[in-house]
């Protein structure tokens, strides 16, 4: 049977389309945030909770990874979507054993992800035994024993997969990878594999470290900020305040995006009296680029920079920087001067005048920041594209100076910290050696599986136990039908979760749900209040303290779950002091201080007012720890995406009312979509050319070299100002269209932003 994702509990016929908004945030954003919060948690819990988001003694917002300002923090250092993320977690609704007794798994598997998430917080550990129709309660000890029995039954530890999502705090992440490596595998896929892996790969190769080189204060010092492939109005709303500050200080902002995203084109800062009512356009220039055209853009700009240098020698290329700090400049110059600007115009859809105007700004600016997110990372040529953006900054000497640098804007609030703490299927040798030294274990050295490889392995029967530390693996990953079958083939699936999601109802032969504390919850161990630490997108590390009374006494912290499982798995004689770690998170931080580079004196440093910033050699000292000892200019063959005849290139993206696979509501207010999610945004001229009309229902069929038909049905066409040949639709509803093998070169990231599709008229069954 062909399934198209269960959304029958959403009445898509109520869908309404209005004109896209021209300004983000403002009064409506505040009203929406408060309404949602009060609905979920009541007035008192709302007041108590929202006043502590991102404050020095509060908790880190579980929304995005945008940093807090370093100086004065405003009383409300959160945004509409941060408030929604908090409300989602702090809700008083609960999913209890009675709930599971009343709903069979089969019934739950027919519900939408939206419905599942709305049911509330998970309260008890639950088990689904082979052949059972309903989840039943299980004690924590029995749950651990069940996991250990399955792990011990494996032929090798490499038959187990240990996934991590990016909300996991540093302390958990550190212990979790320690457990997994003590057990004997590096199979540590994480959400980063689907997210900024391409950024990490490109930056490590170019500048020797896979993280951004700017700090929040650099935004106030920049002349020019390019925001490419990112929708901050929805996904990083607090970034708009930083961009607003930059503009007040004279910066120019260029948005590079196929879509005229509302937050970039207009913003009312709800935090300032003036912004609340008047609003400012953020982007001075909007380059409406074609999907996948960014590599061509950056190469074309490179050529135009060299031409500007020819006209005024010594004013554009930073020769001192290039000579002292870079390698490969001559080859880069040769290749870039030969770039065909006619091809660049075709690939980007931009005019020669737009390219020249942008190049002039880039040539004249004294300090340039380039920001990006999923529009760049989820492309076949993502790594090369990010290298080309970095090349431009290197030509101009824009790394390691105030107001300048690379700025990959991370997604999950601690996805960067998880990597720092060792969540990676190919952690470098010095880290593993330090881990082994500290604990007297022997970590495996063979690289493990990333997300795509883990799915392949489970599909082929080589992966048998799946353990998810947070996240929603089934809904976040590509090729839904393949992935669901892969999970169903497992002997055991375990999900450590706060809320119900599809990964609980698409399960292995035996399945466990382990309910855990969230960021906002009070975490008591041995009667003492515990804190965790997190790292933001700009390498700032600080403490986070939850204070809300957990919705159930049965919830355990992620740290406790890891330690208790480890005790059951390894017995009392294991060299790692799991019991002590569980009882006092300071002891975990002491171990982190000895193992993780840059974390010396960790306990003291995370307790400083704004925490501390991890070292970043290019940012701090223009030091580049690459193979050449210098920043590397990359030379790449130009790749772009011509649109096949009669087809569209589809990007899958987020609405304003979701957090990845968690759907808060059915509106995408800024884009004018209300009461539904099954839409495909298409250029009016393409709609006409294909013989459709705005509002028609279509099936979307993706085309891939394997000839397999991937189809989602009953999507409404919405005429939208996206470039010709380019379309957009929401994730996760369109994940069934993304072929598992459609991945980015060198990062293995699923190409969620460029799927070739055709539209077929929807036939009612």
Which residues of this chain interact with ligand MGD, rule CB under 6 A?
63-64, 81, 165-167, 191, 194-195, 228-231, 234-236, 256-259, 261, 289, 291-292, 294, 373-375, 378-379, 411-412, 469-473, 476, 496-499, 501, 516, 518-519, 558, 651-654, 658-662, 731, 735, 738, 752-753
The Cα-based distances of 731 to 653, 655, 657 in angstroms read 5, 8, 12
**Which one of ligand MGD, Mo ion, none interacts with residue 242, CB within 5 to 8 A by kind?**
none
Q: Tell me how crowded residue 133 is: count the other CB atoms within 10 A of its CB.
A: 9
Query: Taking the CA of residue 241 as centre, how many other CA atoms within 13 Å lie in the half-sphere pointing to its CB?
Result: 23
Roughly what angle, to the nearest 10 degrees, separates helices 80-90 and 237-248? 160
Residue closer to ligand MGD by CB (options 154, 283) is: 283
Q: Is 411 a binder of Mo ion (CB under 5 A)?
A: yes
Question: Which tokens in the block code for residue 170?
Answer: 């540093």
Point out which residues pair with 649 in neighbouring strands. 726, 756
Residue closer to ligand MGD by CB (options 257, 613) is: 257
Peptide bond into 633 cis (omega under 30): no
Q: Is 242 a binder of Mo ion (CB under 5 A)?
A: no
Nearest-approach distance from CB 410 to Mo ion, in angstroms? 7
Residue closer to ligand MGD by CB (options 367, 385) is: 385
**Which one of Mo ion, ligand MGD, none interacts with residue 231, CB within 5 to 8 A by kind?**
ligand MGD
Closest C-alpha among 125, 104, 122, 140 to residue 505: 104
The Cα-based distances of 381 to 295, 333, 423, 649 in angstroms read 8, 20, 24, 15
Find out whether 500 and 509 touch, Cβ atoms under 8 Å. Answer: no
Provide the mask over 128-147, with x wherever binding to Mo ion is found by CB under 5 A and - wherever it is not.
--------------------
Q: Is 382 a binder of Mo ion (CB under 5 A)?
A: no
Nearest-approach distance from CB 732 to Mo ion, in angstroms? 13
Nearest-approach distance from CB 62 to Mo ion, in angstroms? 13
Q: Where are the alpha helices (DSSP H) in 530-689?
A: 558-570, 578-583, 585-595, 602-606, 617-621, 684-689
Residue closer to ligand MGD by CB (options 191, 486) is: 191
Nearest-approach distance from CB 646 to ligand MGD, in angstroms? 21
Nearest-approach distance from CB 209 to ligand MGD, in angstroms? 20
**Which one of Mo ion, ligand MGD, none interacts with residue 165, CB within 5 to 8 A by kind?**
ligand MGD
Residue closer to ligand MGD by CB (options 350, 365) is: 350
How many angstroms separate the CA atoms of 126 and 134, rounded? 10
Q: Where are the alpha helices (DSSP H) in 312-407?
A: 319-325, 329-337, 341-348, 352-364, 374-377, 382-395
Q: Is 195 a binder of Mo ion (CB under 5 A)?
A: yes
**Which one of Mo ion, ligand MGD, none interacts with residue 64, CB within 5 to 8 A by kind?**
ligand MGD
Which element (helix H / strand E) includes 729?
Answer: strand 726-730
Residue closer to ligand MGD by CB (options 212, 411) is: 411
Tokens 């076949």 -> residue: 380
Residue closer to ligand MGD by CB (options 349, 400) is: 349
Q: Which stretch binds Mo ion (CB under 5 A): 124-132, 191-199, 201-209, 499-507?
A: 191-199
Q: Which stretch binds Mo ion (CB under 5 A): 148-156, 189-197, 393-401, 689-697?
A: 189-197
Nearest-approach distance from CB 369 to ligand MGD, in angstroms? 16
Residue closer to ligand MGD by CB (options 289, 452) is: 289
Q: Is 648 in a helix, a strand, or coil? A: strand
Nearest-approach distance from CB 610 to ligand MGD, in angstroms? 22
Indicate the burial class of 70 (C-beta count within 10 angstroms; 0-12, 13-18, 19 or more).
middle
Point out which residues pair with 681 in neighbouring strands. 718, 728
Q: Is 478 a binder of Mo ion (CB under 5 A)?
A: no
Question: Which tokens in the block code for residue 375?
Answer: 């529009």
The Cα-based distances of 26 to 32, 51, 62, 182 in angstroms read 10, 19, 22, 50
Closest C-alpha among 13, 41, 9 to residue 676: 13
How many angstroms separate the CA atoms of 514 and 516, rounded? 6
Taking CB atoms, the residue at the shortest distance from Mo ion is 411
Q: Which stretch binds Mo ion (CB under 5 A): 23-31, 406-414, 532-540, 685-693?
A: 406-414
Residue closer to Mo ion by CB (options 238, 303) is: 238
Closest C-alpha among 482, 502, 476 to residue 740: 482
**Which one of ligand MGD, Mo ion, none interacts with residue 88, CB within 5 to 8 A by kind?**
none
**Which one of ligand MGD, Mo ion, none interacts with residue 556, CB within 5 to 8 A by kind?**
none
Q: Interface with Mo ion by CB under 5 A: which residues?
A: 195, 411
């Amino acid at each position: 049977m062909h399934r198209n994702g269960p959304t029958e509990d959403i009445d898509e016929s109520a869908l309404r389309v209005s004109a896209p908004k021209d300004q983000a945030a403002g009064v409506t954003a505040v009203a929406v945030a408060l309404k949602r919060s009060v609905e979920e948690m009541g007035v008192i819990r709302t007041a108590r909770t929202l006043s502590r988001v991102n404050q020095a003694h509060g908790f880190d917002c579980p929304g995005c990874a945008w940093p807090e300002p370093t100086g004065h923090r405003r009383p409300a250092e959160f945004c509409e979507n941060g408030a929604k993320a908090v409300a989602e977690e702090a809700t008083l609704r609960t999913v209890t054993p009675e709930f599971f007794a009343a709903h069979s798994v089969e019934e739950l598997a027919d519900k939408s992800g939206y419905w599942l998430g709305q049911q509330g917080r998970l309260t008890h550990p639950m088990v689904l035994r082979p052949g059972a129709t309903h989840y039943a309660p299980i004690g924590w000890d029995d749950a651990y024993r069940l996991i250990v029995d399955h792990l011990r039954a494996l032929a090798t530890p490499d038959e187990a997969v240990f996934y991590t999502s990016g909300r996991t705090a540093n302390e958990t992440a550190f212990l979790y990878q320690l457990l997994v490596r003590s057990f004997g595998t590096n199979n540590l896929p994480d959400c980063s594999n689907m997210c900024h892996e391409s950024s990490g790969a490109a930056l490590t190769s170019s500048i020797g470290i896979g993280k951004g080189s700017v700090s929040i204060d650099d935004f106030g010092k920049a002349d020019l900020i390019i925001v490419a492939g990112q929708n901050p109005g929805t996904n990083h709303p607090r970034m708009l305040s930083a961009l607003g500050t930059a503009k007040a200080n004279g910066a120019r902002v260029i948005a590079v995006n196929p879509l005229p995203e509302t937050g970039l084109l207009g913003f009312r800062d709800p935090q300032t009296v003036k912004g609340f009512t008047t609003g400012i356009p953020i982007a001075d220039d909007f380059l409406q680029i074609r999907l996948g055209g960014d590599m061509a853009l950056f190469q074309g700009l490179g050529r135009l920079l060299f031409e500007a240098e020819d006209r005024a020698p010594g004013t554009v290329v930073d020769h001192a920087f290039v000579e002292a700090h870079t390698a490969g400049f001559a080859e880069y110059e040769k290749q870039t001067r030969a770039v065909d600007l006619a091809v660049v115009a075709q690939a980007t859809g931009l005019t020669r005048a737009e390219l020249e105007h942008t190049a002039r700004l880039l040539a004249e600016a004294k300090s340039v920041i380039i920001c990006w997110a999923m529009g760049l990372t989820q492309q076949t040529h993502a790594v090369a594209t990010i290298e080309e953006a970095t090349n431009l900054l290197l030509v101009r000497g824009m790394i390691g100076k105030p107001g300048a640098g690379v700025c990959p804007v991370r997604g999950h609030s601690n996805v960067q910290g998880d990597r720092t703490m060792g969540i990676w299927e190919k952690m470098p040798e010095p880290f593993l050696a330090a881990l082994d030294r500290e604990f007297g274990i022997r970590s495996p050295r063979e690289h493990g599986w990333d997300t795509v490889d883990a799915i392949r392995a489970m599909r082929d029967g080589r992966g048998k136990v799946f353990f998810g530390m947070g996240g929603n693996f089934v809904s976040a990953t590509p090729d839904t039908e393949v992935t669901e079958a892969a999970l169903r083939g497992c002997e055991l699936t375990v999900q450590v979760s706060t809320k119900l999601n599809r990964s609980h109802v698409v399960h292995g032969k035996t399945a466990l749900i382990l309910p855990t504390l969230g960021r906002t919850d009070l975490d008591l161990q041995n009667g003492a209040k515990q804190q965790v630490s997190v790292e933001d997108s700009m390498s700032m590390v600080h403490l986070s303290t939850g204070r809300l009374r957990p919705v159930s006494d049965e919830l355990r912290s992620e740290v406790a779950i890891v330690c208790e499982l480890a005790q059951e798995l390894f017995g009392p004689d294991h060299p790692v002091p799991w019991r002590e770690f569980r009882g006092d998170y300071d002891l975990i931080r002491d171990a982190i201080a000895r193992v993780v580079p840059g974390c010396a004196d960790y306990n003291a440093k995370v307790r400083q007012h704004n925490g501390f910033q991890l070292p970043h050699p290019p940012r701090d000292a223009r030091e580049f720890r690459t193979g050449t000892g210098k920043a590397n200019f990359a030379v790449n063959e130009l790749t772009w995406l011509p649109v096949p005849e009669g087809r569209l290139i589809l990007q899958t993206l987020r609405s304003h009312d979701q957090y990845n696979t968690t759907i808060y509501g059915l509106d995408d207010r800024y884009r004018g979509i209300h009461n539904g999610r099954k839409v495909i945004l298409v250029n009016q001229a393409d709609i006409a050319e294909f013989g459709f009309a705005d509002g028609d229902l279509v099936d979307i069929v993706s085309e891939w070299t394997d000839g397999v038909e991937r189809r989602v049905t009953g999507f409404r066409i919405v005429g939208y100002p996206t470039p010709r040949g380019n379309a957009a639709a929401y994730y996760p509803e369109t994940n069934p269209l993304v072929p598992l093998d459609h991945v980015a070169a060198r990062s293995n990231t699923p190409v969620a932003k460029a799927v070739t599709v055709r539209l077929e008229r929807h036939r009612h069954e």
